[in-house]
């Protein structure tokens, strides 16, 4: 007899669940490596952090990039996360027919989901080759900058970020665009 395995959902099946009403439009869910993950409700500090990150990144990146807040990334057949903020190359109309399949930067604003964002999401984004991943850590009031994605056998999906830097209030970090972002501008 074979071992019991979880059934993984594809992105296409995930969309069909939404279209058929099995997943309601108001449900906060994401598809992560074939699993439908329910996300907790957003409290005010989290929502404010998302708005602040969106504003700061628009200023740091400028033309030629789109800053997308809480919109899907199509990361392979089994994953469609909705990061708090993703910066992608191009313009909004470039994604009218399909979600972006990569980003130059992904940002998660983290309080209740801090462990999930550090482990599961970091490994997912590294496996997708996203060069830089930031966690606006509301718990410790700091910014975690993760870069240099690559194979890490101990990571959830076999990939992770090999460099992690902590930036605190009063400090400034360089965005992948070369622009600068003050940590204070990201924290509610």
pLDDT digits (tens, 9 = 90+) for 39-78: 998 899 999 999 999 999 999 998 999 999 999 999 999 9
**d(Cα 92, Cα 75) in Å, to the nearest integer?**
18
Q: Which of 128, 146, 86, 83 is nearest to 110 (CA)?
A: 83
Confidence label for 113 from pLDDT (cuts 50, 70 and 90): very high
Asked whether 181 and 56 are in contact (CB, 8 A), the reply is yes
Residues 6 or more apart whose Cβ sits within 8 Å of residue 119: 155, 156
Mean pLDDT of the region 70-87 = 97
* Residue in 106, 112, 109, 108 with CA at minimum distance from that of residue 41: 112
pLDDT value of position 4? 82
- Has residue 1 got a pLDDT over 70? no
pLDDT at residue 26, as a whole number: 86
Q: Note if the pTM is more than 0.75.
A: yes
pLDDT at 128: 97
pLDDT value of residue 6:
84
Please name the fold of domain 40-185. tt1808, chain A (3.90.1570)
Q: Residue 61 has which token pair?
A: 């990146």
2, pLDDT greater than 80 = no
């Amino acid at each position: 007899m074979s071992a019991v395995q979880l059934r993984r959902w594809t992105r296409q099946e995930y969309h069909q669940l939404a279209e058929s009403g099995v997943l309601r439009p108001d449900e906060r869910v994401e598809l992560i490596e074939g699993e439908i993950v329910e996300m907790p409700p957003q409290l005010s500090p989290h929502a404010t952090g998302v708005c602040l990150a969106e504003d700061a990144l628009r200023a740091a990146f400028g033309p030629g990039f789109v800053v997308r807040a809480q919109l899907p990334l199509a990361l392979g057949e089994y994953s469609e996360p909705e990061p708090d903020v993703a910066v992608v190359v191009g313009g909004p109309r470039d994604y009218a027919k399909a979600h972006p399949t990569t980003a130059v930067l992904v940002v998660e604003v983290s309080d209740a989901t801090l462990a999930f964002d550090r482990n599961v999401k970091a490994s997912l984004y590294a496996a997708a080759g996203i060069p830089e991943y930031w966690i606006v850590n509301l718990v410790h009031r700091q910014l975690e900058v993760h870069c240099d994605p690559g194979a890490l056998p101990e990571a959830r999906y076999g990939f992770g970020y090999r460099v992690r830097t902590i930036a605190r209030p009063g400090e400034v970090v360089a965005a992948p665009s070369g622009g600068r972002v003050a940590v204070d501008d990201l924290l509610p």
